[in-house]
Amino acid sequence: MDIDGFLRDPQSRRRFLHRSGVIVGAAGSATLLAACADGTTTPNVMTGPDESDQADVEILNGALDLELMAVAAYKAGAGRLRGSLLEVGKKLLEQEQEHVDALASAIKDAGGTPNRAKSSYDFPELRSQSEVLRFALDLENTAIAAYIDALPKLSQGDLRATAAGIIANEAEHVTVLLDALGRDPLPAAFVTGKAS
């Protein structure tokens, strides 16, 4: 997979996320608040609890794939980061690993098997600190868009809460990365995951 092209082409991201059970669209952000309303399950006439769990597992595994890619990307880019940005990169890596662990646990709790990291990812060559930061920014925005779209599709309130918590943390990552790139760290009032 050409990750650089994937991250820069919204159509490629949509196809990837659609195949993994997560469709990126503007409607996802509009339903964000409604999806987090309470801790109950979303009534679903079409499926029973087992089918809902399976659908949740598919959505969560799609998110897990993105988190595993982010962990690999931060590890790959660490050699180009210097000084305080190396420390920031380590912190972001730790938090991405925490997302991986939380998603894997949720998948197991739903009776599924968590996806594993690929043996390698086809990342573009990251030759400088700024290229690492821009690539990480694209990954974070892709993850945010995926989670926003997945949120209302999750059947359990606790899963929606986990996803919402990850969205908030990924948005923090975006703020830190924008600031590190010398860009406005607070460019908009709403988190959408759109490329910046």
pLDDT at position 104: 98
pTM: predicted TM-score of the whole model, two decimal places: 0.74
Q: Are 13 and 24 in contact (CB under 8 A)?
A: yes
User: Which domains does the chain show, CATH number per domain?
Assistant: 3-18+46-180 (1.20.1260.10)
Tell me the C-alpha distance between 70 and 92, whole Å: 9
Share of the chain above pLDDT 70, in %: 73
Where is average pLDDT lowest: 2-6, 115-119, 128-132? 2-6
* Closest C-alpha to 196, from 123, 134, 132: 134
pLDDT at position 7: 53
147: pLDDT strictly greater than 70: yes
Question: pLDDT band for position 3 (50/70/90)?
Answer: very low
pLDDT at position 38: 44
Exposed e or buried b per residue across 90-123, where buried means at least 16 C-beta atoms within 10 angstroms of its C-beta:
eebbebbbebbebbbebbeebebebbeeeeeeeb
Q: Are 85 and 137 in contact (CB under 8 A)?
A: no
Sign, CA dihedral 23-37-99-185, equals positive
Residue-averaged pLDDT of the chain: 82
More reliable by pLDDT, 2 or 99:
99
- Reported as a single tens digit per residue, the pLDDT across 6-57 is 455 555 444 444 444 443 333 333 333 334 444 444 444 444 447 788 999 9
